[in-house]
Structure 1
Amino acid sequence: MTPLSILELVRVTEETDARGALDNARDLAAHAESWGYNRIWVAEHHNMHGIASAATSIVLAHIAAGTKTIRVGAGGIMLPNHAPYIIAEQFGTLARLFPGRIDLGLGRAPGTDQLTLRALRRSPNNADNFPQDVLELQAFLAPAGPDQRIVAVPAAGTEVPLWILGSSNFGAMLAAELGLPYAFASHFAPDLLLPALEIYRSRFKPSEQLDRPYAMVGVNVIAAETDAEATRLATTQQMSFADIFKGARGLSKPPIDDIETYWGPMERAQAKQMLARSIIGSPATVRAGMEALVKETGADELILVSDVYDHAQRLRSVELIAEAWGIGAG
């Protein structure tokens, strides 16, 4: 059975503050571990009131400390925002604290707006150096040479596994060239999923880390006891996407009965395009949708976003997905 993992958004809702979101993420990870999920990742976002994962490595330490076996990682670190040396130090430290459990997914986008990018003391042009920065980071995580004058302590020798993240063909080409696993963000950018996977697999060059292509596909999955209840729960995520296009990002909102009362024609069209591959429904509906996605893409692993407002209902969604897929003890 294709492994399942979770992309945790660390959502701040209208009823929880940032601390609540962080603790909920840790609680979800502990439950996901018991239900058989392979890994849980957190993404770097800045200047977003509704997402509490800006200090990504610290969030990962919080999650990893509350779990024992599940892999914990960044999905991803937006490398142009940082010096590779600093990221090596951070994730090398995580690897020392939680050996054999840390992943480092790398993205090229800023994960924020241009004004905030300047507050980070970074230039938009840094993205042009992304391939070189990946190699530099990889070198700092490798064993230090005898005459190496700059060593990332305590990261050297941890060889934290790197992933390339992408929502376009660029990431696919880079992951293939470097022989790294590839995660495609079809949970918000579904249009190029199949072409990117084809590029990645056809151009893949084996590396010390990986001898054959390994592709993970991101997908929104929300499960409930019935299709109707899952459809209602999904309105929380639909409103979040509509708010992006309204220029009104905010806190996660409770579900509503009819999403058509919330968005206009433009927001509806844009949100539906970005959420086109979402799988929403009862366990039987969810399983059928996931099976179809794996068959279509040949995904080696699925990483799920289950963006449900209420924490207990989100846990139930993630549990139902695991049961439907047949992972863990159920």
Structure 2
Amino acid sequence: MIPFSLLDLSPILKGGTAAEALRNTRDLAQHAERWGYQRYWLAEHHNMTGIASAATAVVMADVLAATSTIRVGSGGIMLPNHAPLVVAEQFGTLESLHPGRVDLGLGRAPGTDPRTTRALRRNLIDSADTFPDDVQELQSYFQPALPDQPVRAVPGAGLNVPIWLLGSSLFSAQLAAKLSLPFAFASHFAPTYLQQALHLYRTQFTPSAALDRPYAMVAVNVFAADDEREAWRLFTSKQQQSLGLIRGTPGPLNPPVDDMTPLWSPSEQARVEHSLACSVVGTADTVRDGLARLADETAADELIITAQIYDHTARLRSFEITAGLRDTIAAPRTLQFEEAE
């Protein structure tokens, strides 16, 4: 079977609070562990009134403390916003508290708008241009410290926290291949380069002692319900969120609507549908077929499921339905993988 993981953006609901969103995150993580999800990832965003996970490592600590077996990680930490040493210390601390359960996914986007990026970094000297060097510096802090090493991560040194590279274009795919790291593609909001990025990653991958073959995870929106019409209605909250991003007016997650037609123009609808092309919506049968098709088309080693659903009970039900399909989705065959290469 192909592993399923879960990406939670800790949605702040219209009329709700960040405290409620974080309580829902803790509750969802506990359910995800019982349902057999392999990982529970949280993402760094800033100045986003609809996302509560800005302090990603802090939220991870709460989720780790509330669970016992599921891996918890960042999907991801936006490395240009941070000094590599600080990230190493934070994740070294998490790994020390919860050994063998921490993942560190890294992205090179700011996770916010230009003005907030400047507020985060104060200056833009350290930007995405230094990302490859910053990744390698961060890797070095997790290696065993040398006797004469002047700067070390405490805790962090010698802990070998697993690092993933995340991306929605080709850059991180190529860097992950060069550095022998697992790669996760953000197809849940930017599917355009999915196949090309996977091809580059697999064909350019350099085996190492840490990872002897490429390992690719693909992100997908899943909106599952016991009724087909209800699943599509739940999906409208995500469509409204994407529409807000297109318009430059992000905000809290809106409740679902019966009809999106009055809310968008035809051109906006086309843009939203393109950005959400990697989505599966419907009952268990529809979702099973959609995930099986995605796994077959991408030869993904793992799928990471996300869903921005307004009602927490409906959100739990969607992830529960999806978890129940895991045993029906075949892992990529050797032939598929060889063809992808």
TM-score > 0.5, shorter chain as reference: yes
Aligned length: 327
Task: Give yes or no for the alignment of 1:174 onto 2:178.
Answer: no
Distance 1:72 1:15 in 2: 28
Q: Deviations over 1:161-215 (max 9, x none)?
A: 0000010111110000000000000001111000100000001001232111000
Structure-1 residue corresponding to 2:147:
146
User: Quick one: which amino acid aligns to residue 201 of structure 2?
Assistant: Y
| Mapping for residues 94-243 of structure 1, pairs under 5 Å | 94-120=94-120, 121-123=122-124, 126-243=127-244
Structure 1 window deviating more from structure 2 (12-21 vs 55-64): it is 12-21
Instruction: Measure how far apart 1:247 and its partner are.
Output: 1.9
Distance 1:247 1:169 in 2: 25
Distance 1:203 1:142 in 2: 25
User: Quick one: which amino acid aligns to residue 4 of structure 1?
Assistant: F
Query: Which blocks of at least 5 consecutive residues in structure 1 are unaligned?
Result: none
Paired residue secondary structure (2:222): strand
User: Quick one: which amino acid aligns to residue 13 of structure 2?
Assistant: T
Q: Deviations over 1:214-246 (max 9, x none)?
A: 000001011000221100000000000011112
User: Quick one: which amino acid aligns to residue 47 of structure 1?
Assistant: N
Structure-2 residue corresponding to 1:35:
35
Instruction: Measure how far apart 1:126 and its partner are.
Output: 1.3
Distance 2:44 2:208 in 1: 27
| Mapping for residues 10-89 of structure 1, pairs under 5 Å | 10-89=10-89
Instruction: Measure how far apart 1:125 and its partner are.
Output: 5.5
Query: Which blocks of at least 5 consecutive residues in structure 2 are unaligned?
Result: 329-341
Structure-2 residue corresponding to 1:291:
292
Paired residue secondary structure (1:191): coil
Structure 1 window deviating more from structure 2 (83-92 vs 241-250): it is 241-250
Distance 1:287 1:66 in 2: 30
User: Quick one: which amino acid aligns to residue 8 of structure 1?
Assistant: D
Instruction: Measure how far apart 1:122 and its partner are.
Output: 4.1
C-alpha contact (below 8 Å) 1:46/1:111 kept by paired residues: yes
Q: Deviations over 1:44-69 (max 9, x none)?
A: 00001110111110010011111000
Structure-1 residue corresponding to 2:8:
8
Structure 1 window deviating more from structure 2 (120-129 vs 56-65): it is 120-129
User: Quick one: which amino acid aligns to residue 274 of structure 1?
Assistant: S
Distance 2:116 2:260 in 1: 31
Instruction: Measure how far apart 1:270 and its partner are.
Output: 1.1
C-alpha contact (below 8 Å) 1:6/1:304 kept by paired residues: yes
Distance 1:262 1:294 in 2: 33
C-alpha contact (below 8 Å) 2:3/2:326 kept by paired residues: no
User: Quick one: which amino acid aligns to residue 7 of structure 2?
Assistant: L
C-alpha contact (below 8 Å) 1:91/1:155 kept by paired residues: yes
Q: Deviations over 1:137-172 (max 9, x none)?
A: 000111101111111101111110000001011111
Q: TM-score, normalised by structure 2?
A: 0.94
Instruction: Measure how far apart 1:117 and its partner are.
Output: 1.1
Q: Deviations over 1:93-151 (max 9, x none)?
A: 00001110000000010101111111112417511010000000000111101111111
Distance 2:208 2:313 in 1: 42
Distance 1:42 1:140 in 2: 22
| Structure 1 ranges of 4+ moved more than 2 A | 324-327
| Same amino acid, percent of matched pairs | 56
Q: TM-score, normalised by structure 1?
A: 0.97
Distance 2:15 2:60 in 1: 23
User: Quick one: which amino acid aligns to residue 87 of structure 1?
Assistant: V
